Amino acid sequence: MTADEAPLMFAPGDLARLDSDALYLELDGWEGPLDLLLDLARRQKVDLRQISILALVDQYLTYIERAGAMRLELAADYLVMAAWLAYLKSAMLLPKAEQEDPSPEELALRLQLRLQRLGAMREAAARLMARDRIGRDVFVRGAPEGLRTDRKTVWRSDIFAVIQAYGQVKSRTAPRIYHVANRPVMTLDSALERVSAMLGVTLEWMEIRDFLPPHASPELKRSALASSFVAALELAKRGRAELDQDGAFAPLRVRRLKEGAAQGPGA
Amino acid sequence: MSGGHEGEPGTLERAVEATLFAAEEPLTVDALAAHLGGIAPGEVRDALTALESHYLRRGVHLVERGGRWHFETASDLAHLLRREKEQVRRLSRAATEVLAIIAYHEPVSRAEIESIRGVQTSAGTLDVLLEAGWIRLAGRREVPGRPVIYATTPTFLDHFGLTSRRDLPGIDELRAAGLLDPVDDALENAMRFDPDDEGEEGDSA
Amino acid sequence: MSGGHEGEPGTLERAVEATLFAAEEPLTVDALAAHLGGIAPGEVRDALTALESHYLRRGVHLVERGGRWHFETASDLAHLLRREKEQVRRLSRAATEVLAIIAYHEPVSRAEIESIRGVQTSAGTLDVLLEAGWIRLAGRREVPGRPVIYATTPTFLDHFGLTSRRDLPGIDELRAAGLLDPVDDALENAMRFDPDDEGEEGDSA
């Protein structure tokens, strides 16, 4: 029992204080009814397992009665406990006959078990506080140098990575030359000329395929087809030709419009 | 390790000694092993054992607290070393009790603490203990409401000179007496069995 | 402990030991004597002598500096207080490119590196290469602004297994090896993701 615990341990003579004015001071030290009960139990100087709950209840009620007489603002907790203990007391005094479910014995036992547990913890706390404590009884190194860990990075790479990186830099930044292939094409102008000339020959429908140069390479043929189609559209727009197609992807046919019917914006 | 009687401490023993002297806080075996450049923990442990016994007779002791090792002054010299200024935190009685309840029952919820003490625990009381680094939040209890549960820390063991929680004063006796079991369990045991029975099976510690 | 010269330390010796251990600063003989309740300085001195010789072989030494005594780590173990921990990291892609440019073009200024790379180069990238010891400052280019120029080091040749810079494959060889083939940067990045690469350009790591 060190000085720390003094306020919570009661000397043998404490009982006398029950009747004195010190009552309120003690109430300050207690946190609640269980506290007070435990203290009263301790004063019986018996093992909590042997304690007479009835005697304890009597003491508590007496205590509260006196405290109440002297000072009214007794905490509600204390009064609730007093009421509950009064009930417990009467139940314990009544014949055992037909008691309600939690029997008074059980309630008393429960109270006793709780006091035992609180008592055990209070004692444990006192023993804990009385141990050799760092900063009071034992001391750690006053001025430790401290340990430091400096992290150092070791870089790793390899020659291939370096060479590869250089190759990538060079290839990324090298000036690039773009070649535009010179493909055989038929321009729109020449297609227009060609289609106009060929349309002048007849008034019959002609398939657009027939306008293409017969011996052209496949590439030139595709270009010619596109240009001839656009040329045909242009002529239609000018009112010099008409187009006809039975359906999607069906052969596209072109025919010259008669001169008189031409209402286009003029060539 | 140089064998023989004590005499010359081995290189590793000296290294562990120097490291623990210089360390600002207790170190685990693993931390020591890592700091010393990846020594096998077993060897570190051997060095610690040798040091521990060497320092047993000295004014400074090597102690293990919650798996961490540090040097501290011998407790029998306390009367010579006590400082004028009180360095130890003074705890209120409430805080003392709460600390004990947490230490002996951990992990424990606030409601459980309150059921033992019979009064509400103010938040301030737990704060003081948390701030001292003696308790920590140890998760939540998987019951309705998922209350926060508390447990002690290595710092707590350190401060109170406990090697582990098993060193808590009287914990074995308290457990054997069923005084660490909840009241409900104890009640059930008491109603069902002989009161002398130790209520061991309901043990939840 | 076999009796020997040392034997059991006396109480005063232990007290002096503990006091010096717990002290926050070195203590004079007088301060020790006073602290221990008015012991005769001569006795304190004897205790110090005994302690000094006891600790001579340990990982910690008791030393006197200007009339004040304190414990300190044995000088042969001082390296334990400041440990270096090596962490191996792969050079980032940005740094590898810069290194390659320096190797192929040295001595070269940062502006020249940038114009070859086609992107800005962070100072951090050069720092990494300097830290690795692979490049060095090789003076200044005598042009307006006198920019610093960089060159590789013998360490560079060493690390990359080169006898001299002439071992680096020439442009023609690079082309032959397909290393100058234009690559789609995005595709290329996706193909060889390098975790160290991230944000290299902007950061200073």
For residue B126, is it within any domain? yes
Query: What 8-state DSSP symbol labels residue A47?
Result: -
The continuous run of DSSP H or E covering A41 comes out as helix A33-43
Q: Is the peptide bond before B107 cis (omega within 30 degrees of 0)?
A: yes
Residues C56 and C131 in one domain: no
| Domain end call among C75, C109, C124 | C75
Residues B145 and B104 in one domain: yes
Q: Report whether C51 contacts B58 (CB < 8 A).
A: no
Q: What digits encode the pLDDT tens for the residues A186-196?
A: 888 888 888 88
Supply the pLDDT for residue B165: 92
Mean model confidence pLDDT for chain C: 82
For residue B136, is it within any domain? yes
Supply the pLDDT for residue A157: 87
Q: The CATH number of the domain where C167 resides is what?
A: 1.10.10.10
For residue B4, is it within any domain? no
Q: What digits encode the pLDDT tens for the residues A1-60?
A: 333 333 333 333 444 444 444 444 455 566 778 888 888 887 777 777 777 888 888 888
Supply the pLDDT for residue A82: 85
| Domain end call among C29, C45, C75 | C75
Cα-based distances in Å from B93 to A30, A80, B122, B153, C81: 10, 24, 13, 20, 42
Residues C102 and C189 in one domain: yes
For residue C187, is it within any domain? yes
Supply the pLDDT for residue C70: 93
Residues B70 and B140 in one domain: no
Say yes or no: C96 contacts chain A, CB-CB below 8 A. Answer: yes
Residues B55 and B100 in one domain: no
Closest chain B CA to residue A32 = B119
Low-confidence ranges of chain A (pLDDT < 70): 1-30, 70-73, 96-101, 175-177, 259-267
Residues C110 and C176 in one domain: yes
Q: Is the pLDDT of residue C194 over 50?
A: no
Q: Is the pLDDT of residue B28 over 90?
A: yes
Cβ neighbours of C8 in B, within 8 Å: 57
Q: Which of A152, A166, A49, A158 is nearest to A108 (CA)?
A: A49
Residues B103 and B186 in one domain: yes
Q: What digits encode the pLDDT tens for the residues B125-175?
A: 899 999 999 999 999 999 999 999 999 999 999 999 999 999 999 999 999
For residue B32, is it within any domain? yes
Closest chain A CA to residue B62 = A140
Which of B104, B160, B183 is nearest residue A114 as measured by Cβ atoms? Answer: B183
Residues contacting residue C173 through CB under 8 Å, at least 6 positions apart: none
Please answer yes or no on whether B160 and A139 come within 8 Å at the CB atom. Answer: no
Report the pLDDT averaged over residues C123-137: 90
For residue B200, is it within any domain? no
For residue B174, is it within any domain? yes
Residues B45 and B102 in one domain: no
Predicted interface score ipTM higher than 0.90: no
For residue B56, is it within any domain? yes
Range of the domain at B25: 11-75
Residues C70 and C101 in one domain: no
Query: What 8-state DSSP symbol labels residue A134?
Result: B
Supply the pLDDT for residue A87: 86
Cβ neighbours of B10 in C, within 8 Å: none
Residues C62 and C28 in one domain: yes
**What domain count does chain B have?**
2
Please answer yes or no on whether C59 and B8 come within 8 Å at the CB atom. Answer: no
Please answer yes or no on whether A151 and C87 come within 8 Å at the CB atom. Answer: yes
- How far the first Cα of chain C sits from its last, in Å, is 54
Residues B143 and B65 in one domain: no
Residues B101 and B141 in one domain: yes
Give the integer Cα–Cα distance in Å for B58 and B41. Answer: 25
